[in-house]
Amino acid sequence: MPTVSTSVVVPRPADEVFDFLADARNLALWSSGVDRVASEHVRPGRDAEYAFRFPGRHRDSVLVCSTYLPPEAIAFRGRRMWTPLGTQVPEYAFRLVPHAEGTEVVMSVTCVLHGGLALMVPVVAMAWRRDLPVDAARLREAVMGDRAPAALPAAATGPPAPPAPPAGSVRGTGQEPLLPPVPRAKRRRRGGDVPDAPAVA
């Protein structure tokens, strides 16, 4: 399938962003293409292997670091996974570029499909085009952790919403309270009480 790419600016130095990406266990924190990664620590580097689970699979597979160029580029490629319809090989690649606000991370996903799965290429590509920008935003949040920028001041976000009216009031000039319901007069009729029209003052 064609490679699907997007980018996000992370306001942190490139070496810090690279170290975060180099620990493949962090993929499970933000990537929709990784369901879980084994918790055992693996020394980062080219050919480092990690046990991981691709979404929708019931067994772990192997994720291999195929590119390791700190602090510029890193990539992980999954071993070929078999299904009744064919095989697939996912690859997640990251290129780090200096940016005035920190580091721009160019993210790319390639999922090579064989056999009957090749017929699913348009669907898979469309799904990644939808999900990858969301993953990019989650990556930024994950790298930032509790160092995310503070919320914008009220002047930048617009005036605060007016408070909700108190119970028993209506919107209008003065927030006038609702009048209590007018008691309904009753008159006796054969067969029981029957409500009559409201009393008029």
For 176, other C-beta atoms within 10 Å of its C-beta total 10
Q: Is the pTM of this model over 0.85?
A: no
**Could you give phi then psi for residue 171, rounded to 5 degrees?**
-75, 135
Q: Phi-psi bin for 116: left (phi > 0), alpha (psi -120 to 50), beta?
A: alpha
Average pLDDT value for the chain: 81
For the domain made up of 4-145, give the CATH fold.
Alpha-D-Glucose-1,6-Bisphosphate; Chain A, domain 4 (3.30.530)
From CA 201, how far away is CA 114, in angstroms rounded?
84
- For 111-121, the pLDDT digits (tens) are 999 999 888 89
pLDDT value at position 155?
Answer: 38
Contacts of 161 (CB under 8 A, 6+ apart): none
- For 127-167, the pLDDT digits (tens) are 999 999 999 999 999 999 865 443 333 433 445 555 555 54
Locate the domains of the chain by residue range.
4-145
From CA 16, how far away is CA 37, in angstroms rounded?
21
